[in-house]
Amino acid sequence: MSIQIRGLLAALILLITTTQAQAWSLFGKDKHYADTRYPIVLVGGIIAFDDIAGVDYFYGIADDLRDYGADVYESNVSAMQGNEYRGEELITQIEEYLAVSGASKVNLIAHSQGAPTARYVAAVRPDLVASITSVHGENRGTPVADVIRGVVPAGSVTEGLADAITFAFAGLWEAASGGPNPLNQSASAVLADSTTAGMADFNRRYPQAMPAGDCGTTGQHTVNGVQYWSWGGTGVQTNYLDPFDSLLVSVTKMAFPKGMKHDGVLPLCGMYLGTPIRHDYNHNHADAIRQLFGLLGWAVDPKTLYRNQANRLKNAGL
């Protein structure tokens, strides 16, 4: 037998065995890997949506979780509103998910502004929430909002103009995604809640699972029966083909003091909540939800992180 034929046969055997192993992993022993006791609800940040024209905010993540046995809902709270306002919307949606699923609670996995949105729900309605996982969460605000607030003071003409532009843009965004609130979008509400001072005030009112100090890494794991985890990253430009990376490098990066670790939008110190999983992934703020369209750098695919967290919740009886 020639060397070429032997090589071809070896490659064919490898292909067959690999395909069988993948099929077994997906449809055999691992099909319940992410099968949590309570449904998972994904909660987006600023300009949140479930999907627009078939493109998910959490790009490809919900379907991957479902492939591994999870019951997943993609929430659709206001694209541009304050934390408490969005939290009340999320409570209404959770109640609908529970009515459909028959479950008594949900696991919230929240990105960016979705973290304080979810934290508000857990604070005022802990009976609805089994756990919160903060993913690159906006738990201490961002210097980006501080810089913008310096240019757009509260009550100024420029703030009014920003609200008018937001009303038009976010209203269309809400209509495209079937969102709950196309007629009440507010840039000033988002900005007020996203400054470091605004989030400090929020944390005084809803301190559950927040680490102590200015840059604490571990908070209470369980508060009022709700369990808390977080993960994050400090990548900025992770893929030169990704337009989001260019925005993070050329614009938002300038808001951060030299030496401060961040993901292009949020400081590392603000990503911690409850029990830290890991906070040094080579992911920027958009990578954490696999945007733009899954363009990632040399780093673990976030699908794996969400899947592993679902398994962690499952093993915790959640």
CA distances from 298 to 58, 143, 281 (A): 19, 27, 10
Cβ(131)–Cβ(227) below 8 Å: yes
Neighbouring residues of 18: CB distance < 8 A, sequence distance ≥ 6: none
Residues in a beta bridge with 227? 131, 222
Nearest of 117, 114, 115, 26 to residue 65 by alpha carbon: 26
Q: Active site residue: 263, 279, 283, 287, which one?
A: 263
Structure tokens that stand for 283 in this block = 């992911």
Q: Active site residue: 78, 112, 134, 186, which one?
A: 112
Q: Active site residue: 111, 262, 279, 285, which one?
A: 285
The three-state secondary structure class of 277 is strand
32 catalytically annotated: no
263 catalytically annotated: yes
Summary count for the chain: helices (H), strands (E): 10, 9
285 catalytically annotated: yes
Structure tokens that stand for 91 in this block = 């409570």
Cβ(138)–Cβ(115) below 8 Å: yes
- End-to-end distance of the chain based on CA atoms, in angstroms? 56
Catalytic residues: 112, 263, 285
